[in-house]
Amino acid sequence: MESTQKLHKVLAQSGLGSRRQMEELIGQGEVRVNGQVATLGTRIGPGDKVTVSRRPVRLNFSETLPRILLYHKPEGEIVSRRDPDGRPSVFEALPRIRGMKWVSVGRLDFNTSGLLVFTTSGELANRLTHPSFEMEREYAVRVVGELTQDQLRQATVEIPLEDGPARFESIRSSGGEGTNHWYQVVLKEGRNREVRRMFEAMHVMVGRLIRVRFGRIHLSPRLKRGQFAELEPQEVRDIMQWVGLKPTPARQEAPGRSSRRTRKT
């Protein structure tokens, strides 16, 4: 008898989203198996034909390692595949992959640069961004002016925002010239424009904002703006173990696919 797997699990490891997101799609009737609307709990095998929103899906039944890509986002790009204003998208700079798609791990604002992480695993992306995991984000922030000692202390206690209080895990001065001053800040949230709004609440204007770290993943100084680099299999396995996902046996993993490319203009 041919072995089968749960539909939502196969869709997630095929790079379409997290298992929870796949369960929601199935519940909404967007998934069909062999032409029939699937239900929660449906199991499939390699011979089944699956469509999501009436589009055929290339299924991945083997639990091979996902791919993880680091991208140095320049200012002036959006983290979305579609934009009514026609602005450049970060996805235009990424390598094309057949049968899967790159999932962004969080977002960066249009005017923010720095580290963006992409993966082919919706489950991994969900784990890295889930609020319960409290992933640290570190930024280099250039402001006009300088914070007082009282402001520095208050920034790690509470800063009132319209959508609730926020605080930095840490904030330290990293020098500057003239009226410009740099700070290194760390926080465990990813709310919209949160870092900028926190400084605005302290009456300081942000001139530049660069994300330099996401959890244990650092932005390499060798990775220039507009370039990407893919992690090696061992690095991917380390990250999966770090977030508590099942590591893949070494015999199943694909060869390393590290690369750096400059975006064509």
Give dist(CA 17, CA 125) in Å, integer.
Answer: 8
Q: Where are the alpha helices (DSSP H) in the chain?
A: 7-13, 19-27, 122-129, 149-155, 194-201, 233-242
* Sign, CA torsion 1/249/117/193: positive
- Measured CA to CA in angstroms, residue 256 lies from 65, 105, 248 at distances of 11, 21, 14
Tokens representing 89 are 């998208």
85 noted as active-site residue = no
Q: Which of 48, 83, 85, 109 is catalytic?
A: 109
- Scan for tokens 């580290």, then name that residue: 115
Is-contact 14 20, C-beta < 8 A? no
Catalytically active residues, by annotation:
109
